[in-house]
Structure 1
Amino acid sequence: MKINATLPEKGRDLRLDLFRGVANWAIFLDHIPDNVVNWITTRNYGFSDAADLFVFISGYTASFVYARMMIERGFIVGATRLTKRVWQLYVAHIILFVIYIVSIGYVAQRYSDPEIINEFNVAGLVDSAVETLRQGLLLKFKPVNLDVLPLYIVLMGFFPPVLWITLRRPNLTMLASIVLWLTARHFGWNFRAYPAGVWYFNPYSWQVLFVFGSWCALGGARRSMSIIMSPITLYLSIAYLIFALIMTMAGKFPDFGAMFPHWLFDAFNPNDKTNLAPYRFLHFVVIVIMVIRFVPKDWPGLEWKMFDPLIVCGQQSLAVFCVGVFLSFVGHFELMMSSGSLFAQIFVSVTGIAIMTVVAYYISWSKRQDKPQKPPAAAAAKAA
């Protein structure tokens, strides 16, 4: 079957690293409740948030990395490389899972605070430890804030055939993804969770963001440039962003929300994150349009030193994400045990981001040391 997708240009796209770093920082901040610093994240000013960005970029980078490999070396090679990545994600999740629940259990015992076990959804370990751990290995049991990686693992696990089809029928694949998302919303499809309930991030719904990222990477954005650059699209995008801001603020401030008709307020509040509400997906699409329009791949600002910490955190995304999830628990507990003052909130937030950044720089430096060092030209000439 003929390849109809347009492969992305070779070379690193710093926009992906920058926004992936933004997503990691925002997820860390958003996971700390009663923290004034998380007011700087996007979830407070529109329908979508860092989780949408994380899933979209994951689909984009998966296509960016593996599409050319699948074309040049065949489906089997591409699929095995994707499977290897799934295994890496799974191992990272299990390590984080074990450290996370052990830390929560230790804190609850050390400080005689059993409520923290219920708050972080690990009470099942007390009554049925073996079965709970088994369900954790199957990705069905997830403590609070450990929902994103299992979603990523599932989406990547099903991605090899999706990528193969996308390379040949990109528009049809995107359409099928949208149909699956809307059908799942209509019939209430979702994965079962343990011990009860369903997944917080419904894979049937959230796959549309992952596939949308893949579609954009494989020429969808490029083929849509006439629409993206249209003045009408710009005006409509700005209007929708303003509307999303108003509705989000209405949900956060009851007195302001009371100014709107119930039918309008109830349509957007509470924000349906689990099944990815259409207005939420549309909000993220609008953000993507604005970024493509105003932040091209060769934007000089990507070279600014002020963005280096974010870019490095984006380049070491998996490790930074895992560290950030763990630090969000530490930060939450610290605020619970302290006064929770404004200074404490700022200190916990800044310290956590600093640690994530140090980890990213260390991993980046360590990887460079693993590469063979080329001798300097002068030393090579002298040796000759």
Structure 2
Amino acid sequence: MPEPCAPHGVARLSPEMVYSDRGRRMHTLQPGRQRDLRIDFFRGLALIFIFIDHIPDNRLANFTLRNFAFADAAEVFVLLAGFSAVLAYGRTFETQGFQAGVQRTLHRAGQIYVWHIGLLLLCSFGLAAIATAVANPMYVEAIKLHTFADQPVSAIASAITLLNQPNLLNILPLYVTLLLVWAPLLLWMVSRAPFVALGLSIGLWAVANAFSLNLPAHQNPAGWVFNPFAWQVLMTIGAVTAQFSLRRPIPVIPWLVIAAGAYAVFAFLFMAPWALIPGLENTRLVAPDALGSMDRIYVPAWRLVSILTLGYLALVLISARSRWLTEPWAVAVANCGRHSLQIFCLATVLSLGAWVFLTEIGGNGLAPQLVVNFVGIALMLATAALLTQRKAAPETAVARTRHPLAQARAEPMTAPRP
């Protein structure tokens, strides 16, 4: 989760649809003035899913991606992080050099790090205060925040070094690490030798899976839940895809579309979301452990292929010029994706608040759960809309200052007719 916060910034594109000489439809992204709303929309949707999934025993979580595919919203977020990183920083690496590009990625890593530490402290001491007030230590023990109450100095010190990663607060360290270590090399290589970058990434992912390569974490003996040695492969694939999208069309290959669709159906049948319905628990077609471990730590092949098939289908079957992407509800979701860091942090706080609220009122019923989900999502959408409006205001003012004649000529056309 929070991609958590993917680089957001200057991903300004005007998607075009072209056709190959053989008549097969292809999609490509050409530089322009407008953002690719598909990226923002699916990143915003992933944020909403993360909020819903993070509320314990949430009935609405039965309808999020994790119940219909081997992957979940976290994979979506990291894959789009690589895609958007190329759009945001790739040009800097190409035109201004490696040092200038590194400065930008380091700056972004610093921003995410500061937000992570602030979020960690807010949640830790906030939940500790609530646990003390209601005499219920579960609020700090359930997500392994009790070390902040028992040994605050050492807990904060280990949090600063990213070794202390409580549950629900462990995806931002992945972004910080990747932006510090992997992203500079990736973004420098992806425009020069994309297949070399992809080969190195897949090799590192395979080594991590074969030898259980991971970084240590205090809360988890197995290490980081979002293991950077494995999860970097998603960022890399996203970055390579973005680079090819900028240079040449992504083809709609019929047999590949069929294969991707077949795999998506296979994952759906295996996950058997209908088994969540009371009375249908024993109607699964395949045993849950038939494919081995699906633990997200090492991004097993089943999960990796699942998100790649869904990503390919979304890329080639959904045009960036789709009318529905400009509908108010879609724009509201896309606004969340445009401000992913802030909205992810808000979603985390809201999900923890929803958990406390439902626990204290005994809200196991459908009605209170629907209320907290609706209120949480509404607050996310409203905050994202406000952030978008605030960001657009200075840009509009600058445009008017730089082009006063054009603005003067444009005003009569927008004025109401008598």
Same-fold call, TM > 0.5?
yes
* 1:78 CA drift (Å): 1.0
1:162 aligns with 2:186: yes
Tell me how far apart the structure 1 counterparts of residues 194 and 375 of structure 2 sit (CA, whole Å).
43
Task: For 2:329 and 2:149, locate their aligned partners in 1 and report how far apart those are by CA, in whole Å.
Answer: 46
Distance 2:283 2:208 in 1: 33
Selected match of 1:171 from 179, 187, 195: 195
Find out whether 1:232 has 2:259 as its counterpart.
Answer: no
The CA distance in 1 between the partners of 2:218 and 2:376, in whole Å, is 30
Q: Quick check: 1:7–1:219 contact (8 Å CA) kept in 2? A: no
- Give CA deviations for 1:161-216 in whole Å, capped at 9, x if unaligned: 22111221101111111111011000000110025521111111100001111001
Matched-pair contact (CA < 8 Å) for 2:49–2:64: yes
**Residue 367, structure 1, aligned to residue 395, structure 2:** no
Shift of 1:221: 8.8
> 1:299: Cα distance to partner?
2.3
Deviation at 1:128, TM superposition (A): 2.0
Amino acid across the alignment from 2:81: S
Residue 9, structure 1, aligned to residue 31, structure 2: yes
Distance in 1 between residues matched to 2:313 and 2:410, nearest whole Å:
49
Identity %: 30
Q: Find the counterpart in structure 2 of residue 334 from structure 1.
A: 357
Secondary structure at 2:297 match in 1 = coil
Q: Does 1:347 align with 2:371?
A: yes
Shift of 1:10: 3.6
1:193 aligned residue (208, 213, 217)? 217
**Equivalents in 2 of 1:92, 1:19: separation in Å?**
22
Rounded to whole Å, the distance in 2 between the matches of 1:377 and 1:220 is: 38
Contact 2:209 2:298 in 1 (8 A): yes
Structure 1 SS opposite 2:377: helix
Distance 1:296 1:18 in 2: 13
8 A contact 2:30–2:246 mirrored in 1: no
- Partners of 2:294 and 2:302 within 8 A in 1: no
Normalising to structure 2: TM-score of the pair? Answer: 0.83
Q: 1:239 Cα shift?
A: 1.5
Counterpart selection for 2:95 from 49, 62, 72:
72
Alignment of 1:1-384 (within 5 A): 9-11=31-33, 12-158=35-181, 159-194=183-218, 197=221, 198-219=223-244, 225-226=250-251, 229-249=252-272, 255-257=282-284, 260=286, 265-268=288-291, 271-338=294-361, 339-371=363-395, 372=397, 374=400, 377=408
Structure 2: tracts of 5 or more residues without a match: 1-27, 413-418
Aligned-partner residue type, residue 42 of structure 1: L
Letter in 2 for 1:115: M
Other-structure match for 1:3: none
SS in 2 for 1:9: strand
TM-superposed CA distance for 1:351, in Å, is 0.3
Residues 196 and 282 of structure 1: CA distance in aligned 2, closer, same or farther (over 3 Å): closer
**Are the equivalent residues in 1 in contact too, given 2:29–2:245 (CA < 8 A)?**
no
**What are the Cα deviations for residues 305-330 of structure 1, in whole angstroms up to 9, with x where unaligned?**
22111011111111111100110100
Contact 1:28 1:324 in 2 (8 A): yes
Specify the SS of the correspondent of 1:86: helix
Contact 2:174–2:226, Cα closer than 8 Å, also in 1: yes
Measured after TM superposition, the shift of residue 256 of structure 1 is 2.7
Contact 1:216-1:222 within 8 A present in 2 as well: no
Q: Say which is worse superposed, 37-46 or 205-214, in terms of deviation.
A: 37-46
2:23 alignment counterpart? none
**How has the CA–CA distance of structure 1 residues 10 and 379 changed in structure 2, closer, same or farther, with 3 Å as cutoff?**
closer
Q: CA deviation at 1:238?
A: 1.8
Letter in 2 for 1:256: T
Q: Is the 8 A contact 2:113 2:176 kept in 1?
A: yes
CA RMSD of aligned residues (A): 2.3
C-alpha distance in structure 2 between counterparts of 1:308 and 1:201, whole Å: 30
Judging changes above 3 Å, is the alpha-carbon distance between structure 1 residues 8 and 160 closer, same or farther for their aligned structure 2 residues?
farther
Taking the aligned partners of 1:380 and 1:225, their CA distance within structure 2 comes to: 40
Return the offset for 1:132. Answer: 0.9
Say if 2:123 and 2:349, in contact at 8 Å, map to a contact too.
yes
User: 363-372 or 287-296, which moves further after superposition?
Assistant: 363-372
Please state how far the C-alpha of 1:379 moved relative to its aligned partner.
11
Q: After superposition, give the CA deviation of every residue in 1:215-250 in whole Å (9 maximum; x if it has no partner).
A: 011106976834xx2222222222211110121128
Counterpart residue type for residue 61 of structure 1:
S
The one-character-per-residue Cα deviations of 1:71-123 (angstroms, maximum 9, x if unpaired) are: 11111111101111111111111111111111110110111001221101012
User: Contact between 1:21 and 1:314, CA under 8 Å: does it hold in 2?
Assistant: yes
Q: Which amino acid aligns with 1:215?
A: V
